[in-house]
Amino acid sequence: MLDISDGEFVVLRDLIRERFGIWYDDQKRFLLLSRLSTRLAKRGFETYDAYVRFLRFDSRREEEWSDLASALSNNETYFFRERAQLKALAAHILDEFLKRSSRVRLWSSACSSGEEPYSLAMTLLETGKITDAMLSIRATDISSRVLELADKGFYRALSFRATEPAMIQKWFHPQGDGFVIDDRIKRLVSFARLNLLEAQRVAAEGPFDAIFCRNVLIYFDKPTQKRVVESFAKALRPGGYLFLGHAESLFHLTDLYEPIVGPDAIVYRLKAAVPA
Ligand SMILES: C[S@@+](CC[C@H](N)C(=O)[O-])C[C@H]1O[C@@H](n2cnc3c(N)ncnc32)[C@H](O)[C@@H]1O
């Protein structure tokens, strides 16, 4: 691995914290360097100093920041992940939305390669309570690379590790060594690139009935987690829901939401509307 001076390490980790809210203390120096070294190798840099200059000044810097975000978090995802939450959505929460309006808008806010938003679309259509015209799903991620995959809608076995075969048969078509998502599901989802730390853009995406922000807060430091979940409050309808990953929680973070504890899943409901 390339040598890094203490000064270069501090500059890079501060830039990363400012941009993504991901904090690497001295103990995580090796972890950060191993992830950065992949990016340096991909771009052909031989010094950290040159890489920092690229991140700061090069005209292609946004593209690199996006790839760096992916390298630092990881894009691990699969269809019907944390199914208990999806069941709660289909069984009860959807009824609350439908009482309020005949149109339902959901947001998968760190959607990776698309398995999460497509799972939401399949789950809701499967209930029979909602038609295609009543549902729209926004799906965003900071990484353009995963968004390209999401838009292709082509998946291999690993993405289906928690998918019932009947669902694959119904909603996918075999293609080469994998499956492509049916157009009926694809049409319900619109993808875009968005950094969750950009609070104004987050607020402007709303209003949503529910926001899914699963398995990404764990990479942020506490102040950033707080900032992100509080900005979601401005993108949710009154009484809207926030879904987090099972290792994530709002405990000691914010009191804008109340936890709704079900038999297998915890979800959060916005207490009152927050002005945008
Ligand atoms: C582990 S995946 C989670 C995917 C999906 N939500 C799930 O639970 O299966 C984390 C995703 O968060 C994205 N991400 C990381 N930082 C982000 C940020 N600041 N804004 C938006 N997305 C971000 C990564 O690019 C990655 O695709």
- According to the model, what pLDDT value does residue 276 have? 60
- According to the model, what pLDDT value does residue 273 have? 61
Residue 98 neighbours by CB under 8 Å, 6+ apart? 104, 129, 130
Task: Flag whether the pTM goes above 0.95.
Answer: no
Domain 83-270 has CATH 3.40.50.150: yes
> Is residue 265 very low, low, confident or very high in pLDDT (cuts 50, 70, 90)?
very high
Q: What is the pLDDT of residues 104-136, one digit of tens each?
A: 999 999 999 999 999 999 999 999 999 999 999
Lowest mean pLDDT among 79-88, 137-146, 170-179, 234-243: 137-146
Q: How many helices (H) and strands (E) does the chain have?
A: 12, 10
Lowest mean pLDDT among 48-52, 64-68, 234-238, 251-255: 64-68
What is the residue-wise DSSP string for 205-238?
H--EEEEEE-SSGGGS-HHHHHHHHHHHHTTEEE
Out of 86, 141, 197, 246, mutate this one to test ligand 1's pocket (max ligand atoms within 8 Å of CB): namely: 141
CATH 1.10.155.10 domain extents, the chain:
6-73
- According to the model, what pLDDT value does residue 124 have? 98
* Domain 6-73, CATH class in plain words: mainly alpha
| Distance in Å, CA 99 to ligand 1 centroid | 31
| Distance in Å, CA 215 to ligand 1 centroid | 7
**Does residue 215 carry a pLDDT above 90?**
yes
| Active-site pick, 17, 19, 29, 35 | 35
- According to the model, what pLDDT value does residue 274 have? 63
The alpha-helical segments, DSSP class H, found in 131-188 are 144-152, 165-171, 183-186
CATH 3.40.50.150 domain extents, the chain:
83-270
What the block records as the tokens of 108 is: 């998968």
> Is residue 144 very low, low, confident or very high in pLDDT (cuts 50, 70, 90)?
confident
Average pLDDT over residues 63-76: 86
- According to the model, what pLDDT value does residue 120 have? 98
Query: Is 35 a known active-site residue?
Result: yes
% of the chain surpassing 90 pLDDT: 84
- According to the model, what pLDDT value does residue 20 have? 86
> What is the total residue count of the chain?
276
